[in-house]
Structures are given as C-alpha cells and as structure tokens.
Chains A and B, each alone.
Chain A
Amino acid sequence: MTISANWYLLLAAVLFCFGLVGVVSRRNILVVFMCVELMLNAANLTFLTFARQQGTMNGHAIAFFVIAVAAAEAAVGLAIVIAVFRTRGTLWMDEVSTLKN
C-alpha cells in the first residue's frame, strides 16, 4: 500500500519540531548541533515529498544542494565547537554565556 504524501509531511514536521525543541533544551553542544541538522533534514524530507507529489526533478535536485550545504555547515560548525572546547574545556551549554546584556 502506498503511503500518502501527507504522512511524510507530517513526519517531517514532527522531526522539525523535535529538532527545534532539542536546540532549545539540550545541554550538550554537540547534541544541540545534531538537532539543528535534524531540522535541516526535516526540510529535506519535505522537499523530497513535494517533489514526489509534483513529479518533477526540481525537488530532488534541491535536496542534493541542501545536503552539500549542510555538510559544509557541519564542517565549519564543528571547527567552531572545537574552538569553544579548547577555550573552556567542556561542552556544557551553560559555560557559553559570558557575553550578555
């Protein structure tokens, strides 16, 4: 039985929300980062679903682009995370709040 597109969309939306909540609440920097990636992938899933629905190749091509960009983002992001780790010795989110007000 074919699963209707709407379920995929719902899944993607749920993943997105999980990612969002994770970004807001998790205490480990790497986990937060992973949640951001989750959000990006939710968007990817949405693209693919709509592409399937519309029958064109556009959405698929877009997904490739997104994957490439996400990879680059991950590279830079992890480098920054390393820099943070080197200056603080920990990956605890609470440590990263000296700049304020």
Chain B
Amino acid sequence: MAHSDAIQVAQPLLWALILLPAAGALVNGFFGRRLGKGNVALIAVGVMVAAFAVAVFAFFQLFHGEHGTVLRAPGDVWFRVGNTSVSFGLLFDRLSGTLSLVVTGVGALIHVYSTSYMSHEDDFGYARFLTYLNLFVAAMMTLVLGDNLALTFMGWEGVGLASYLLIGFWYTDKQKAFCGRKAFITNRVGDFGFLIGFFAVLSLFGTGDYAQLTQMAGKLQGGQLIATGPFAGWTVTAALTLATLGFFVGCTGKSAQLPLYVWLPDAMAGPTPVSALIHAATMVTAGVYLVARTSFLFALAPASMAVVTTVGAATALFSALIAFAQYDIKKVLAYSTVSQLGFMFIGVGSGAYFAGVLHLVTHAFFKACLFLGAGSVMHGMHEDTDIRNMGGLRKKMPWTHLTFLVSTIAITGFVVPLSGFFSKDAILANALFAHNAMSDAYPWVGPLAYVLGSLAAAGTAFYMMRLYALTFAGEPRTEAARHAHESSPVMWVPLAVLAFLAVVAAVLGLPGNWALGELFGRFTHPVFAQAIATAHVEEHAATAWPFIVAWLVALVAGGLGYAMFAGNLKSIPARFVEVFPALTRFAQDKFRVDELYQWLIIRPLQVISRFLWKVGDALLIDGLLVNGTARAAMAFARLFRTLQNGDVQRYAALMAVAVGVILWTVLGRGGN
C-alpha cells in the first residue's frame, strides 16, 4: 500500500454516525405527530449535533501515530454470492472523515435553521420534514463511510430517495411533485451507469471493497492484458475506462453535470433548507466523492480522467452562462452549484484530487450560506423569489446581507483571503500545469479546462455580483421589499457560522511551500497517494501568475456585474436585451435543454411506447399470452376441480392411482 497508516477498529463510534440520524428519523417518523414541534426539533437537531460531536472525536483519532491512522469498522458479511461476499463495513479515513465533518456539521447548522424556517407547517408536516432530513443524513453517511462499493451504492440510492421525498415535500402541488419525480428519474438513469461500473469492477476484481481494490489495482499496469473472465483480451486500461465511465455517468446524474443536470434547477421547488443541504453541500457532492474514492481506478484510465475533466469544464461554463439570465434567486444559485460542481470535477478529473475535494468543502460552506440566506430573503419577501422585485435589502436585513456578501465574495474570489479563491484557483492552476498520465495522453485537455474554467470563473463573478446587486444593493423596487424584515436569530446565526467557516477555510488551501502551505493537500495525501503514483502526477512549482490572473479576472468580471446592475452601467443590460433579444430569451430559457430532451428523447419514447401498448400489449400479450394462459389455467383447474370435490374416497383413489403410475415408471421402464 502506498500509505502506511495504522488501522484502528472503532465499531460503535462509526456506526453511531449512521445510526444516530437514523434513530432520529425513526422516532420522529413514528411518533412525531404526538411529540409536538418542540420535541421533534430537539430530537432532530440533537442527533445531528451528537453525530457531529462523534465525527469530530473520530476525526481527531486520525492523527494518532506517525503517519496518522485510519478508522475501520469491519462488519459481518451481509450476503454471499458465489465467491463474492458483501459486508457491512465502514471506513473513516482522511477523505471520508473530512466529508463526515462537512455533512454532520453543515447538516446540523441547516437542521437548526430549518426548525425556524419550517415552523409555519403543521405538526405532521414539520415532523415529516425533519424526519426526511435525518433520513437523508443517515443515507449520506452510509454513502460516505461505506468501505465497499455496495454500501456506497446503498447510500447513493438512499440519498436519491430522500431527495425525492424532500423536493416533492409539498406534494399536493402537482408541479412540485413533478420536480421530485424528475429528479428521481434522472438520477435513476445515472444510477444505471453506476451499476455498470460496479459490475465491471466486480467481474474484474471479484470484490467491491476499497482497501482490497486499492491493493489489487496497485499491482496492475495499464497496458496489461486481462486473461480470463468477460474482459478477456482487453487491456486493463480499456476495461477500467469502461468501469470508471460507468461510475462517471452515475456522477453526472447525482452531481448534476452535463447531460443529466436538468433536475437540479427544478429541485428548487423544494423548501430552501433542502436546497442548501442536499443540492449544494452534500448530496450533489457524492459524485465528486465517488471519483475521489475510486481515484486509483481512474488513474489507470487516462481517457476517463480526460472525460471527467472536459465534462466538468464544459458544465461549469455552460451553466454559468445560463445563470446570467435567471431572475429566480434560487435558480441562479442552483446553476451556480452545477457550475461549481463542474470545477470540482475538473479537480478530481485532472489529478488534483485534493483541490477538487477542498473546493467541495469550501463550496459546502459558502453555498449553504448563500442558499440559507436566500431562504431568509424569501421569508422577508413573503416567499417571492424574483430578484427583480427586490433591491435595497441590505438595510432591511443586515445579518443576512453581511453573510450573503461574505459568501458571494468567497465564491467569486476577488478578495484574496477568502476560501473560494484558493480552492478554485488551485484547481485551475493544476489543470493548466499538470503533468500526469492524462496530460501525456491528451495534452489538450488541461489547457482547455483552464480556459473554460477561467471563463466560467469570470462568469461566476459576474452573475453572483449581479445577484447581489439586484437583491441587496440599490433601493427597494417594490412595496414588499420596502417592508422586508430580518429573520429570527435561529435563522441568521447558522448563516453567520457558515460565513465564518467560508472565510476561515481559506487556510486549508494556501499555496506554496511553507508551514501552512497546501495544508489540505498534504493532509489528504495518504488517501490519494496511490492514484497520484499510478497517474504519475508530478508536483509543479507554484507560480504566482495564474493566481494573479484569476484574481484580476474575478475583479473585472465582478466589478462589471455590480456596475451593470447597481452601479453606473445600469443601462447596459437593458441595451443588451434590446440588441440581442433572441439570445437573451435563449439564455433565459436555460438554452432550451429541457425542450431538447423532450423532443429528442421523451417524445420518441412516448411514440414507441404507444405502439408497444396498442400492438404488443393489447394484441399479443393480453390477447394471446395472458388470456390464453388464463384459459389454459382454467381448463387445468377445471380438471383438478373435479378431483378436489370433497369426497375422501376420490382423494384416496387419486393417491392410489398416482402410486400406481409412479411404480410403473420406476419399475417398468427399466428404471433402477
């Protein structure tokens, strides 16, 4: 193994991370109505805080020993199929430990926020909401802590379910229910890819356990030929490319990349804490986690790395462009999330694993803060999300304004000490300068990613400042905005904590070779060491100019954004819309991607299915097979019915005849 971490068994500790939220979900689920809102909130938040405490405790265990430790909770075998067995084990290493902290910590804050945000629901709805939230956290922890692909997939499906339940929380509204369904179905398509990858890995390695896989993969060379099994004759690289691409298809679904991102903007139909927790901080990052977790497999498949990087970069730019023209505050943030996820994939795709994960962490902080802030704004604006109706809210909602501003600056990155700058630019710099297996095979991918990523970063700065400007700057444009008020402390304190974290997390990604330099990179090195070695990712000298360029770009773009919507250049957007009306409308309609899918995929499917229904189903299957079988079965039954007529002696006669027939068969036909 590339890292010589000591292993410590910590069964109850790790299981508590999953079972605590699960217990909260069970209690609130069954008894919520009877407990009343206060108790339900106490239980839901209580288990989250407890889980966070456990995560912190476990995290500190990781630092024992010279090279640090890994916590394992090896489990019993769940089931065995042939030679493969799947077990219930958990793994808490630096990667899953970091994510555990993020999920439980940010999760706890969002739970606190929700207790106030959802307080106008009735008792049953309140309990239901917090139950689903706890359920989500339990599933997410299963995903993060599972030590084998099967358990990760269980968590993967679990968070998908929780997401469906939460997006469609107000299910009596048909439109909202539809958004939940859309999310679930799009995710299902992605899950199919995951399963292909999973089966490929199983048939190649015979196991889904990460530790075993790491060991086995470490002994492989890319060009080796596979001798036996369904991949016989393939090279290792080719087979693993298939497997990892399968995983990545799952990632495009779960983490909303091209082409399966379409569900995320519609997921905004759910309550805002849901958008903050699931569709910003945690669930959507599951795909990034998966790629990071299986980095040692991706490293053997440079083509997959290239695909991941390119798709990430393209998504980042594409959705940034859509965000330019959106007027719904949550939709802007949603497209921003898709875009930032693209950045994370550039990171883990191009070998800068730590950078991608670091951006995951920092993004969790500032995006959650932004979404919760948007929720606070919506509360103050009586659930209106159109930013054209806002303005001047900085005076009416000071705390929300301050935290929102800090997070916006963090994401745009033009004030240097804030975290988003470092994580994003570490990604881009690595993409440009990387020398690894992928850049050897596909030298154009890195620079392309850099260019697209930089453009996306510029776009990010632009549309975020636009959002800020239209919402908080200037003067109130409507009555509602004039009467807006700050939310309760229960809501803005979590905002403050998150904003603080968004600032402080910068310390994890400072570049350079000094004591605090590349803190996160060095911290997570043991986890990615094998992948780095396999893909021979080389260290490159940290130069300052990419960072300077990035900062300038952010400054200019952000400045433009602010100026165009709250400053002196206010006339330009209106002129733009006049000159390019079609383009504007095109962007507003999210580049018509949904319509494209409708025309390309959904309509043909409906035509085919109607044909299959009329001809295949009604005629052949119903008429011939089903009714025919039924008629045959009824004839069969009528025969037996005469036998089962209640007359004992007929029964005895039947048995005697049967014995006679069997005797004749066994003795007469030469049977022994």
Q: Given the complex of chains A and B, what is the CA–CA distance between A100 and B652 in angstroms?
A: 15
Residue B479 at the chain A interface, CB threshold 8 Å: no
For B641, what are the chain A residues with a Cβ–Cβ distance below 8 Å? 101
Contact sample, A vs B, 14 pairs, CB 8 Å cutoff: A20-B656, A23-B649, A24-B652, A24-B653, A25-B649, A93-B647, A93-B648, A93-B649, A96-B648, A97-B645, A97-B646, A100-B644, A100-B646, A101-B645
Interface residues of A in 1-41 (CB under 8 A from B): 20, 23-25, 32
* A98 near B646: Cβ-Cβ < 8 Å: yes
For A101, what are the chain B residues with a Cβ–Cβ distance below 8 Å? 641, 644-646
Q: Given the complex of chains A and B, what is the CA–CA distance between A100 and B653 in angstroms?
A: 16
Q: Given A20-B656, A24-B653, do A97 and B644 touch, yes or no (CB 8 Å)?
A: no
For A20, what are the chain B residues with a Cβ–Cβ distance below 8 Å? 656
Q: Which residues of A contact B (CB under 8 A)?
A: 20, 23-25, 32, 93-94, 96-101
Q: Given the complex of chains A and B, what is the CA–CA distance between A66 and B652 in angstroms?
A: 22
* A24 near B649: Cβ-Cβ < 8 Å: yes
Q: Given known contacts A23-B652, A101-B644, what 8 new A-B pairs fall within 8 Å (CB)?
A: A20-B656, A23-B649, A24-B653, A24-B656, A93-B647, A97-B648, A98-B646, A100-B644
Residues of B contacting A: mostly: helix
Q: Given the complex of chains A and B, what is the CA–CA distance between A98 and B644 in angstroms?
A: 11
Which 10 A-B pairs rank lowest in CB-CB distance, beginning with the nearest? A100-B646, A97-B646, A24-B653, A97-B647, A23-B652, A24-B652, A24-B649, A100-B645, A99-B646, A20-B656
A97: nearest residue on chain B (CB-CB)? B646
Q: Given the complex of chains A and B, what is the CA–CA distance between A92 and B644 in angstroms?
A: 19
CB distance from B168 to the nearest CB of A (A): 47
B645: nearest residue on chain A (CB-CB)? A100
Q: Given the complex of chains A and B, what is the CA–CA distance between A48 and B652 in angstroms?
A: 27
Interface residues of B in 599-650 (CB under 8 A from A): 641, 644-649
Q: Given the complex of chains A and B, what is the CA–CA distance between A45 and B648 in angstroms?
A: 27
Q: Given the complex of chains A and B, what is the CA–CA distance between A15 and B517 in angstroms?
A: 101
Q: Given the complex of chains A and B, what is the CA–CA distance between A97 and B645 in angstroms?
A: 8
For B653, what are the chain A residues with a Cβ–Cβ distance below 8 Å? 24
CB distance from A86 to the nearest CB of B (A): 18
B647: nearest residue on chain A (CB-CB)? A97
For A98, what are the chain B residues with a Cβ–Cβ distance below 8 Å? 646
Q: Given the complex of chains A and B, what is the CA–CA distance between A65 and B26 in angstroms?
A: 59
Q: Given the complex of chains A and B, what is the CA–CA distance between A16 and B647 in angstroms?
A: 22
For A100, what are the chain B residues with a Cβ–Cβ distance below 8 Å? 644-646
CB distance from A99 to the nearest CB of B (A): 6
Q: Given the complex of chains A and B, what is the CA–CA distance between A45 and B641 in angstroms?
A: 38
For B647, what are the chain A residues with a Cβ–Cβ distance below 8 Å? 93-94, 97
For A99, what are the chain B residues with a Cβ–Cβ distance below 8 Å? 646
CB distance from B648 to the nearest CB of A (A): 6
Q: Given the complex of chains A and B, what is the CA–CA distance between A25 and B647 in angstroms?
A: 11
Q: Given the complex of chains A and B, what is the CA–CA distance between A20 and B658 in angstroms?
A: 13
Q: Given the complex of chains A and B, what is the CA–CA distance between A70 and B627 in angstroms?
A: 51
Q: Given the complex of chains A and B, what is the CA–CA distance between A20 and B660 in angstroms?
A: 12
CB distance from B178 to the nearest CB of A (A): 48
Q: Given the complex of chains A and B, what is the CA–CA distance between A101 and B644 in angstroms?
A: 6
Q: Given the complex of chains A and B, what is the CA–CA distance between A93 and B652 in angstroms?
A: 13
Q: Given the complex of chains A and B, what is the CA–CA distance between A94 and B648 in angstroms?
A: 9
A99: nearest residue on chain B (CB-CB)? B646
CB distance from B606 to the nearest CB of A (A): 46
For B656, what are the chain A residues with a Cβ–Cβ distance below 8 Å? 20, 24
For A25, what are the chain B residues with a Cβ–Cβ distance below 8 Å? 649
A20: nearest residue on chain B (CB-CB)? B656
CB distance from A41 to the nearest CB of B (A): 18
Q: Given the complex of chains A and B, what is the CA–CA distance between A96 and B649 in angstroms?
A: 10
Q: Given the complex of chains A and B, what is the CA–CA distance between A23 and B659 in angstroms?
A: 15
Q: Given the complex of chains A and B, what is the CA–CA distance between A55 and B331 in angstroms?
A: 97
For B645, what are the chain A residues with a Cβ–Cβ distance below 8 Å? 97, 100-101
Q: Given the complex of chains A and B, what is the CA–CA distance between A19 and B644 in angstroms?
A: 23
CB distance from B165 to the nearest CB of A (A): 46
0/1 per residue, B212-238, Cβ < 8 Å to A?
000000000000000000000000000
Q: Given the complex of chains A and B, what is the CA–CA distance between A99 and B646 in angstroms?
A: 5
For A97, what are the chain B residues with a Cβ–Cβ distance below 8 Å? 645-648
The CB with the most chain B CB atoms within 10 A, among A20, A24, A98, A100, is that of A24
Interface residues of B in 60-119 (CB under 8 A from A): none
For A24, what are the chain B residues with a Cβ–Cβ distance below 8 Å? 649, 652-653, 656
